Amino acid sequence: MTKILFVCHGNICRSPMAEFVMKDLVKKAGRQAEFEIASAATSSEELGNPVYPPARRKLAQHGIDCSGKTARQLTKADYTRWDLLIGMDHANLRNMHRMFPEDREQKLHLLMDYTARPGEVADPWYTGDFETTWLDVLEGCQGLLATL
User: What amino acid positions are annotated as catalytic residues?
Assistant: 8, 14, 123
Which residues make beta-bridge pairs with 108?
A: 85
Helix (H/G/I), strand (E/B), else coil: 127: helix
| The dihedral formed by the CA atoms of 75, 95, 125 and 27, expressed in degrees to the nearest 10 | -50
Helix (H/G/I), strand (E/B), else coil: 102: coil
Buried-state track 85-124, b at ≥16 Cβ within 10 A, e below 16: bbbbbeebbebbeebbeeeeeebbbbbbbbbeeeebbbbb
